[in-house]
Amino acid sequence: MPHFDLAAVLTDEFRGWLLQGLLLSLELMTIVWLLALPLATFTALCRLSSLAPARWLGFVLVEGIRNIPLLVQLLFWYFAVPELLPESVRAWLYEHNAEFICAAGGLTLYTSAFMAEDIRSGIRAVPITQLEAARALGFGFLASMRRIVLPQAIRIIVPPLLSQSLNLWKNTSVATVIGTAELMYQAQRVETASFRGVETFTLTTIAYLCVSLTITALAIWFQRRFPVRAA
Amino acid sequence: MIDIIDTYWLYFLVGQYPDGPLGGLVLTILLGFSALILALPLGIAFGLARVSERRWLRWPVTALVYIVRGTPLLMVIFWAYFFLPSVTGHKTGQFATMLTALVIFNGMYIAEIVRAGIQGIPKGQMECARSLGLSYSKAMRYVILPQAGRNMLPSFVNQFVTTLKETSLGYIIGLAEVSFVANQINTLLLTRPVAVFSTLALAYFILCFGLSRVAYFLEVRRNRQAT
């Protein structure tokens, strides 16, 4: 094996590819996160609803998505979903970076199913008596939600949500299978072009770790700063 | 969809076996199961190190757990793909590569399950066992771990579900597990991606949903026993 030489993969060309990949990965994570959170909240509320059909919809969404591997879902989104779309939409999709849109769609659904379960258990963890006590003291429903229930629920929900964000960050790497040009895809490209596997993967691993450990640190900080209080 | 299943069900289940290497759904289950079995001792050892009183043991293991858990599994697979041949000195097959990556990756997750399980047992249990004259390792083995083990069982089953889903990444290094086989069938047929990938998704769903129900059942039973 030739000796370890980081400079070999830090030439302008290769560095550019890797940076582009990192930026696209971060972009993918941000878009998916922003789309998944409202969808997850909706699914969680469905599962907590008093309407049986809404509960069933939530259950099917969560269990269906969580029990199928992300890779299979991405393959489905990329190969099968365009077949189901009308001709004009399909043409539009292939003109507008289909790899990125399909990856974002698949990752959003996948992430939202996991986030929904965290949000649901967070809301359920606040005893109903808290709401009842607030109402008895004369708070309106919205005021008691805003001032009594949600502040307690958020302390419980945020740490698991942060760990789902970490999973999301790691899962963006799977998008490479459908050819989304994110960090893992660019790493393979640099590796093929430079024959410097160890150096390329060292850099890529460090890049992934920097973002992962930042999210982990944020989670630890949050749990120290805002510990869950016994109700 | 029925006609595809009718033609390709054997290929889907076992790959090219017996004329070629074993593949398909059977390989997926075999890989997931062996990865979990091999990751268990690693996870238990690392979990014990994570709660150890010796810093020289606890700190490096904690660092390793954080590093591996912050890395995508795909990255670990590529590392195994590159490093195994140069460590072992001969070409490593896709199955061994995938198995190694899964064992290392899941070992770290199991270590965290074990740590949480041990820390979930009241401190008084350890103090009590020690004051009755048991050594640390004996107290761990006869008092703490049997109780923690019962609490950890549902998490282990859930981890098995996760591992089964993770075996699908073997697709990327060309391991002929069920996702790879399905993709091959899709390439052969060309015009039926919806049917092929729906069948694949359904196969995973039946497997994983069934197992996660088992975990749920174990959890309900444990909570009933606890009260």
Average pLDDT (A117-129) is 89
Q: Which residues of B touch A80 (CB under 8 A)?
A: 193-194, 196-198
- Burial class of residue B117, CB neighbours in 10 A (0-12, 13-18, 19+): buried
Residue with tokens 């920097």: A210
* A136 found inside a domain: yes
Average pLDDT (A190-219) is 93
* A28 found inside a domain: yes
Torsion of CA B68, B70, B73, B77, to 10 degrees: -50
pLDDT tens string A65-86: 999 999 999 999 999 999 899 9
* Predicted pLDDT of residue B83: 85
Q: Are B51 and B65 in contact (CB under 8 A)?
A: no
Give the whole-angstrom CA distance, residue B202 versus residue A99. Answer: 24
* Predicted pLDDT of residue A2: 61
Residue B66 to chain A, least CA–CA distance (Å): 8
Q: Which residues contact A124 (CB under 8 A, 6 or more apart)?
A: A48
DSSP single-letter state for residue B89: S
**Which residue range(s) make up the domain with A221?**
6-225
* A230 found inside a domain: no
- Other beta carbons within 10 angstroms of residue A230's beta carbon come to 4
Average pLDDT (A153-172) is 94
Average pLDDT (B146-171) is 93
Q: Which of A72, A198, A208 sits opposite B168 (nearest CB)?
A: A72
Average pLDDT (A107-125) is 93
* C-alpha closest to that of A103 among A162, A168, A9, A20: A168
Alpha-helical regions (H) of chain A: 12-48, 52-66, 70-75, 81-84, 87-95, 98-125, 128-136, 141-144, 150-171, 183-194, 197-225
* A122 found inside a domain: yes
Average pLDDT (B18-40) is 92
For residue A116, give the CATH number of its domain.
Answer: 1.10.3720.10
* A157 found inside a domain: yes
Average pLDDT (B173-197) is 91
- In the predicted model, is pLDDT for residue B105 greater than 80? yes
Average pLDDT (B164-174) is 94
* Predicted pLDDT of residue A137: 95
Average pLDDT (B5-27) is 85
pLDDT tens string A31-70: 999 999 999 999 998 898 888 999 999 999 999 999 999 9
Q: Which residues contact B36 (CB under 8 A, 6 or more apart)?
A: B106, B156, B159, B160, B163
Q: Which amino acid is at B227?
A: T
- In the predicted model, is pLDDT for residue A5 greater than 90? no
Q: Which residues of B touch A216 (CB under 8 A)?
A: 66, 70
* Predicted pLDDT of residue A231: 53
Are the Cβ atoms of A208 and B205 closer than 8 angstroms?
no
Q: Give the pLDDT band (50/70/90) at residue A229.
A: confident
pLDDT tens string B75-84: 999 999 888 8
| Domain count within chain A | 1
- Which of A31-35, A168-172, B12-16, B183-187 bottoms out in mean pLDDT, i.e. has the lowest? B12-16
Q: Report yes or no: B87 at the A interface, CB cutoff 8 Å.
A: no
Q: Report yes or no: B168 at the A interface, CB cutoff 8 Å.
A: yes
Q: Report yes or no: B74 at the A interface, CB cutoff 8 Å.
A: yes
- In the predicted model, is pLDDT for residue A134 greater than 80? yes
Counting one residue from A and one from B, how many pairs have CB atoms under 8 Å apart?
A: 101
Q: Give the pLDDT band (50/70/90) at residue B227.
A: low
* C-alpha closest to that of A134 among A146, A122, A124: A146
Q: Give the residue from chain A lying closest to B204, CA to CA.
A: A68
* A231 found inside a domain: no
Q: Give the pLDDT band (50/70/90) at residue A1.
A: low
- In the predicted model, is pLDDT for residue B118 greater than 80? yes
Residue A205 to chain B, least CA–CA distance (Å): 7
In total, chain A counts a number of residues equal to: 231
* A14 found inside a domain: yes
* A91 found inside a domain: yes
Give the whole-angstrom CA distance, residue B35 versus residue B167. Answer: 9
pLDDT tens string A166-202: 999 999 999 999 999 999 999 999 999 988 888 999 9
* Predicted pLDDT of residue A230: 65
Are the Cβ atoms of B179 and A72 closer than 8 angstroms?
yes
Q: Are A72 and B179 in contact (CB under 8 A)?
A: yes
Give the CA distances from residue A78 to residues A28, A70, A97, B28, in Å, rounded to whole numbers and listed in that order: 16, 12, 11, 22
